[in-house]
């Protein structure tokens, strides 16, 4: 099948490369000429496992890049729209990129096409896309609008795309449903997974993935409701962590107990410094806004957002509890990306915390395995970037762990202790066992668990915790 994917960001680029790997002919369209130039030259603009392999496999053959949307539409049967839908100041989704793409698409429709929303959009968007295309005089029979929301996670985007929990197709006509079924057939009939060159299967993959076909509106709503639910799970466990801190319980033990219930599940019950990224914050706001627009006050989502905001503030207070004043203190920061495995810093709680610490006069030396280039663009010049966790820790008053990169959970602790001026670790991601840290000579603070002092040090040194 000939497919156009409009927008070559985290979603469009991964979707385009994966569609090519399924055997389709893909034109990736973007209006960012610098990005197109980089992609054509073989550069990989985002940090994503297996993406470099797929791009080098298909670039110039089944995967081409273009800035000519109209021509790409003319040549394709399916047009996936994967442009950004950022929040407006009011909190609803800014759909102006989607609208401008819809307007341009209409000029290229000569025979039957399906225009598919891949971007995360509010529930009425497909109707508007249809109206916009019709307004330009396009024949109503010559196209359908469908919804195929994307559930990939940054960091594991390629495997999430090729080994999804489910493929969701929202269609209001049989013809468009058949076309989308055909596009995903190599996954749903299992043939992709039998190929010797298939991307390796991750743990927990359900093969073949479930195909769920719904109305377009239901599909749009499923995406917003899914993200809101996941954000709620994170805020819920962060609220539980706060109660644990007040009563001296251990949230990790509590999570083990809650998560063992198959109705609840263990995943997404990770206490920390709150959710961030380009999806959850904006999608929770947009879902609340669309509910409000249609007469339902989704107050539960207000609370999800409030807890998330508070979680960052609580972590700042924890840093104060550990260090007292911050002016002039040297802090080592591990992690800038909004989560491990990605270079994306959009709405990253780590970036928020670094900015707050800088405002309070701290000196920051930061290390992140992938996100430092992007962070340099948004953090002021006073942040120093290190080439390893140990270099960041050198002479620091304390070490903060702000992103759950795997490499941060396997640090050489004796070496880290030697590098730090004071052996204090404030862990926003609960990567270490408090008792093990105490045994290694650290004063260790984490989320939802009592703070810990090195073995042998009197507990009076801790303001807000007990010796474990
Ligand atoms: P992004 O900002 O990384 O990429 C968007 C791309 O669209 C950019 O390359 C931009 O240049 C391009 N673009 C904008 N206007 C254009 C136009 N008129 N013509 C051609 N190209 C245009 O965004 P993203 O993270 O890939 O997200 C895209 C959508 O997918 C959003 O709605 C997002 O909510 C949703 N989504 C994102 C993720 C994720 O993990 N990032 C996951 C699922 C869904």
Q: Which one of 4, 5, 6, 7 would you pick to mutate in the ligand 1 pocket, going by the greatest count of ligand atoms within 8 A of its CB?
A: 7
Q: Does the beta carbon of 8 lie inside 6 Å of ligand 1?
A: yes
**Catalytic member of 18, 171, 279, 452:** 279
Say what the pLDDT of residue 192 is.
98
| Structural domains of the chain sorted by starting position, each given as residue range(s) with its CATH number in brackets | 2-214 (3.40.50.720), 307-467 (3.40.50.720)
Give the residue whose CA is nearest to atom 17 of ligand 1: 31
Beta-strand ranges (E) seen in 24-102 are 25-29, 63-66, 78-81
Closest atom, ligand 1, to C-alpha of 46: 3
For residue 127, the CA-to-ligand 1 centroid distance in Å is: 20
Q: Is the CB of 31 under 6 A from ligand 1?
A: yes
Nearest atom of ligand 1 to the alpha carbon of 100: 18
Whole-model pTM: value is 0.94
Cβ within 8 Å of residue 97, ≥6 positions away:
7, 83, 84, 85
pLDDT of amino acid 467: 41
Per-residue confidence (pLDDT) for residue 466, from 0 to 100: 45
**3-state SS assignment for residue 399:** strand
Q: How far is the CA of 82 from the centre of ligand 1 (A)?
A: 5
Residue of 83, 88, 116 with the most ligand 1 atoms within 8 Å of its CB, for mutation: 83
* Closest alpha carbon to 155 in 266, 50, 281: 50
Q: How many angstroms from the chain centroid is the CA of residue 198?
A: 24
Cis peptide before 135 (omega within 30 of 0): no
- pLDDT at position 71 is 97
For residue 427, the number of C-alpha atoms closer than 13 Å in the C-beta half-sphere is: 27
Q: Whose structure tokens read 């479930």?
A: 210
Cα gap 267→288, rounded to integer Å: 24
Cα 279 to the chain's mean position, in Å? 6
pLDDT digits (tens, 9 = 90+) for 440-460: 999 999 999 999 999 767 565
**Pocket of ligand 1 contains residue 152 by CB under 6 Å:** yes
Cβ of residue 285 lying under 6 Å from some atom of ligand 1: no
342 lines ligand 1 (CB under 6 A): no
Tell me the best of 11, 30, 43 to mutate to test the pocket of ligand 1, counting ligand atoms within 8 Å of each CB and taking the most: 11
Compute the distance from residue 432 Cα to the ligand 1 centre, in Å.
35
- Type and span of the H or E element at 147: strand 143-147
Atom of ligand 1 nearest to the CA of 154: 40
pLDDT beneath 50: ranges in the chain: 464-468
The rounded Å distance from CA 249 to ligand 1 centre is 42
Which tens digits make up the pLDDT trace of 109-122? 999 999 999 999 99
Q: How many CB atoms neighbour CB 90 within 10 A?
A: 8
Residue 116's nearest CA partner among 179, 54, 68, 174 is: 179
Tell me whether residue 18 is one of the annotated catalytic residues: no
> What pLDDT, in 10s, does the model give residues 349-402?
999 999 999 999 999 999 999 999 999 999 977 899 999 999 999 999 999 999
Residue-level pLDDT at 456: 67
The rounded Å distance from CA 13 to ligand 1 centre is 9
10 in contact with ligand 1, CB cutoff 6 A: yes
Assess whether the C-beta atom of 278 lies below 6 angstroms from ligand 1.
yes
Mutate to test the pocket of ligand 1, among 278, 280, 285, 345 (most ligand atoms within 8 A of CB): 278
């Amino acid at each position: 099948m000939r497919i156009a994917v409009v927008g070559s960001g985290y979603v469009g680029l991964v979707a385009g490369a994966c569609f090519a790997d399924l055997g389709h002919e893909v034109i990736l369209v973007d209006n960012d000429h610098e990005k197109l130039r980089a992609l054509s030259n073989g550069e990989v603009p985002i940090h994503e496992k297996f993406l470099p392999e797929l791009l080098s496999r298909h670039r110039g053959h089944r995967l081409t890049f273009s800035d000519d949307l109209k021509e790409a539409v003319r040549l394709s049967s399916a047009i996936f729209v994967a442009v950004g839908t950022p929040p407006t100041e009011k909190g609803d989704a800014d759909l102006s990129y989607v609208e401008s793409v819809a307007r341009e698409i209409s000029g290229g429709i000569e025979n039957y096409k399906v225009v598919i929303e891949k971007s995360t959009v509010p529930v009425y968007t497909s109707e508007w896309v249809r109206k916009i295309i019709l307004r330009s005089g396009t024949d109503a029979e010559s196209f359908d609008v469908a919804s195929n929301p994307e559930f990939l996670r940054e960091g594991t985007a390629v495997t999430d795309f090729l080994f999804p929990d489910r493929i969701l197709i929202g269609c209001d006509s049989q013809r468009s449903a058949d076309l989308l079924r055909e596009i995903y057939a190599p996954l749903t009939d299992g043939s992709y997974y039998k190929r010797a060159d298939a991307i390796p299967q991750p743990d927990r993959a359900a093969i073949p993935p479930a195909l769920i076909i719904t109305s377009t509106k239901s599909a749009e709503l499923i995406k917003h409701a899914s993200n809101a639910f996941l954000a709620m799970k994170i805020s819920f466990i962060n609220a539980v962590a706060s109660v644990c801190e007040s009563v001296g319980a251990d949230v990790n033990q509590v999570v083990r107990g809650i998560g063992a219930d198959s109705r609840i599940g263990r995943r997404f019950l990770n206490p920390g410094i709150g959710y961030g990224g380009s999806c959850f914050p904006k999608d929770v706001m947009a879902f609340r806004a669309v509910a409000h627009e249609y007469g339902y006050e989704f107050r539960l989502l207000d609370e999800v957002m409030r807890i998330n905001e508070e979680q960052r503030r609580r972590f700042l207070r924890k840093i104060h509890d550990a260090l007292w004043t911050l002016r002039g203190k040297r802090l080592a920061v591990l992690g800038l990306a909004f989560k491990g495995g990605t270079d994306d810093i959009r709405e990253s709680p780590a970036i928020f915390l670094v900015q707050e610490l800088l405002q309070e006069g701290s000196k920051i030396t930061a290390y992140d395995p992938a996100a430092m280039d992007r962070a340099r663009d948004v953090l002021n010049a006073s942040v120093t970037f290190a080439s390893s966790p140990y270099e960041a820790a050198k002479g620091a008053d304390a070490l903060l762990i702000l992103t759950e990169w795997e490499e941060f959970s396997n640090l050489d602790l004796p070496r880290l202790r030697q590098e730090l001026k004071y052996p204090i670790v404030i862990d926003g991601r609960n990567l270490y066992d408090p008792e093990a840290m105490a045994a290694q000579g650290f004063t260790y603070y984490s989320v939802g668990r009592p703070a810990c002092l090195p073995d042998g040090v009197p507990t009076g040194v801790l303001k807000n915790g007990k010796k474990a």
